[in-house]
Chains A and B, each alone.
Chain A
């Protein structure tokens, strides 16, 4: 299976480069850790008023939101690395070898998934220190969601980077997509406490369904329509993004 072999080859190369600069894993963690430390206690107070509900404890509600936020921002910016690689002529060099052009994408995405899972694990451990209580199975399901979200966003970001080849285009594009998605996903506060129109608008954000399913998992509810919706949206989104990005990488002219 040469595609799998090629993907692993690219993955190993990218991972080696990441390990040479492990600071990035920590930098990606700083923002969610700050939220956990400085916003978490406020959120816990609000949670205790009973306005929010839907979770066993405040951090069981809050941490899944932080995980999605980290995934959103972590994976959405990976496209910058493909622009750098393109500038260095590395993409072109790879494209003239017999290596699968899809593996050039897949190996990178796999590295991003692994990076994000490491960050997610560290964030959950930090959450435990703050008072997160969730079943192990629920946390593992949450990791599954994070991995699939990372696939979607990383693929999309690589595609945008490869097609535009410009940081000046990619940076605003990423912000234009991630910030509204984050706001409309109820990452900090549940959308149910908002006005009706906001709840209607928020239905377009795929992350809303994913985060609801993650919160359900953290509360120990593994079945039901929320979970099915969440899985369907996450997998559907990943498939769509991979298909789009795959087409961009397989193009004969790039």
Chain B
């Protein structure tokens, strides 16, 4: 059963230059226990969609059921059942008061969810252990490191053991260690508690390694969805780069028509192929070269990244924002050769 089901969700803001359609009719379904990533460049409508799903912003059109409560008719019901961790960068921070104590923030949060005092204290202690905040209970929030503060903010979203957790840019601004540590925590939530996680990110690596499924949003519409692998397969194909002792144009003539080879281009001394299911096609390609008497000097197989997918879908690259280096050239560059 879907834990999030949205149909035609839209939000139009009015501005001096007329209405701005931030989100234009988003349909989405998230199943219980999934980790779903919402991927898109800044201004694509990620945060606006998230704010609608978490009752912070009323949609101008569309309907949604979130954690079995109707978003429009029962927003308090939605609030009771979801956890939400705001993004920690930009105009607003992640939701903790710098002058509060760690344990205090957790207890307050639990009481905001109407947990009895004793239960609030118990939950606070439990989450302090789970999110590795032990020993920091009596520290002021402003003395925490970036990673510790973010873990506290995630703990705040979990005090009432929600079945569904929304994370807005959970790891933005963190160092690589803190980031992968946080990923472990998010995976653990799903493994141990079956929590469904819906997160926005503009880190491709995050979507790739953490998410079961990725929704790509651009200009306020969802332009693709699927598992990271499926998206990559569907959009780009794998990139095979060969260098041969003979003229690469000869090799191109041999390989261009072979099954699975979508594109072939000569790039200096190298031949670049875009190939479907690259690892399976490779032996056939090698045999063909061998049969034609062409000696191979080197061969490289690169999987496309989500950035390639992104570039294909939106015509824009997310790479400037991505901490992970690209594993392959964008498809566009190969095709242009």
* A96: interface (CB < 8 Å): yes
Hey, what's the 0/1 contact readout for A65-89 against B, CB within 8 Å counting as 1? 0000000000000000000011111
A39 CB–B CB distance under 8 Å? no
* Distance from A97 Cβ to chain B, minimum over Cβ atoms (Å): 4
Expressed in whole angstroms, the Cα–Cα distance for A85 and B94 within the complex equals 11
B58 contacts chain A at the CB level, 8 A cutoff: yes
Q: Which of A2, A87, A97 contacts B109 (CB 8 A)?
A: A97
Across the interface, which residues of B come within 8 angstroms of A89, CB to CB?
86, 88, 92-96
List B contacts of A88 (CB < 8 A): 92-93, 95-98
Enumerate B42-99 residues with CB–CB distance to A below 8 Å: 54-58, 75-76, 79-80, 82, 84, 86, 88, 91-99
User: Interface stretch among B19-27, B111-119, B249-257, B270-278?
Assistant: B111-119
Known: A89-B95, A93-B86, A93-B156. A98 touches B113 (CB 8 A): yes
- A110 shortest CB reach to chain B, Å: 16
Interface flag for B230 (CB, 8 Å): no
Docked CA distance A92–B113 (Å):
14
Within 8 A of A (CB), among B90-149: 91-100, 104, 108-109, 111-114
A95, B56: Cβ atoms under 8 Å? yes
The answer to whether A90 and B95 touch (CB under 8 A), given A9-B108, A98-B79, is: yes
Find out whether the CB atom of A253 lies under 8 angstroms from the CB atom of B93. Answer: no
Name the CB-closest residue of A to B141. A88
Task: For residue B70, give the distance in angstroms from its CB to the closest CB of chain A.
Answer: 14
Whether the pair A87, B100 counts as a contact (CB closer than 8 A) is no
Inter-chain contacts of A99 with B (CB < 8 A): 112
Cβ contact within 8 Å between A17 and B99: yes
Question: Which residues on A sit within 8 Å (CB–CB) of B75?
Answer: 252
Instruction: Return the chain A residue nearest B111 by Cβ.
Output: A9
Q: A20 with B99: in contact, given A92-B86, A96-B84 (CB under 8 Å)?
A: yes
Contact between B55 and A96 (Cβ–Cβ < 8 Å)?
yes
**A94 on the interface (CB 8 Å rule)?**
yes
Known interface pairs A9-B112, A89-B88; A253-B95 also in contact (CB < 8 Å): no
Bound CA span A254–B56, Å: 7
- Closest Cβ of chain A to B108, distance in Å, is 5
Residue of A nearest to B52 (CB): A253
Q: Which residues from A are CB-within-8-Å of B100?
A: 13, 16-17
Taken residue by residue from 1 to 33, chain A's Cβ proximity to chain B (1 for < 8 Å, 0 otherwise) reads as 010011001000100110011000000000000
CB of B79 within 8 A of CB of A97, answer yes
Number of interface residues of A (CB under 8 A): 26
Q: How large is the interface on B (under 10, 10 to 19, 20 to 34, 35 or more residues)?
A: 20 to 34
Contact A253 B57 (CB under 8 A): yes
Decide: A17 near B97, CB < 8 A? Known: A89-B92, A98-B76, A98-B79.
Answer: yes
A97 to chain B: which residues have CB within 8 Å?
A: 79, 109, 112-113
Contact A98 B112, beta carbon cutoff 8 Å: yes
Closest Cβ neighbor of A6 among chain B residues: B112
Contact partner, A96, options B79, B88, B92, B97, Cβ 8 Å:
B79
Contact with B along A227-254 (1 / 0, CB 8 A): 0000000000000000000000000111
Residues of A within 8 A of B97 (CB): 17, 85, 88, 90
Q: Collect the chain A residues with CB atoms within 8 Å of residue B156's CB.
A: 93
| Cα of A2 to Cα of B91 in the assembled complex, Å | 32
With a cutoff of 8 Å between Cβ atoms, the chain A residues found around residue B112 in the complex are: 6, 9, 94, 97-99
Contacts of A90 in B (CB 8 A): 95-97
- State in angstroms the CA–CA spacing of A88 and B86 once bound together: 10
A2 CB to closest chain B CB, in angstroms?
A: 7
Complex CA–CA separation, A253 to B76 (angstroms): 14
A5 to B112, CA, bound (A): 10
Contact residues, A124-157 vs B (CB, 8 A): none
**What residue of chain A has the Cβ atom nearest to residue B86's Cβ?**
A89
* A-B CB contact pairs (8 Å), 22 listed: A2-B114, A6-B112, A13-B104, A87-B92, A88-B95, A88-B97, A89-B95, A89-B96, A92-B56, A93-B84, A93-B109, A94-B112, A96-B54, A97-B79, A97-B109, A97-B113, A98-B76, A98-B80, A98-B114, A252-B55, A252-B58, A252-B75
Q: Which residues from chain B sit less than 8 Å from chain A, CB to CB?
A: 54-58, 75-76, 79-80, 82, 84, 86, 88, 91-100, 104, 108-109, 111-114, 156
Beyond the given A90-B97, A99-B112, please list 10 additional residue pairs across the A-B interface where CB-CB is below 8 A.
Answer: A13-B100, A87-B91, A89-B88, A92-B92, A92-B95, A93-B84, A93-B156, A96-B56, A96-B82, A98-B79
Please report A residues at the B interface, Cβ cutoff 8 Å. Answer: 2, 5-6, 9, 13, 16-17, 20-21, 85-90, 92-99, 252-254
Listed from nearest, the 5 A-B pairs whose CB atoms lie closest are A93-B95, A89-B95, A97-B112, A96-B84, A252-B58
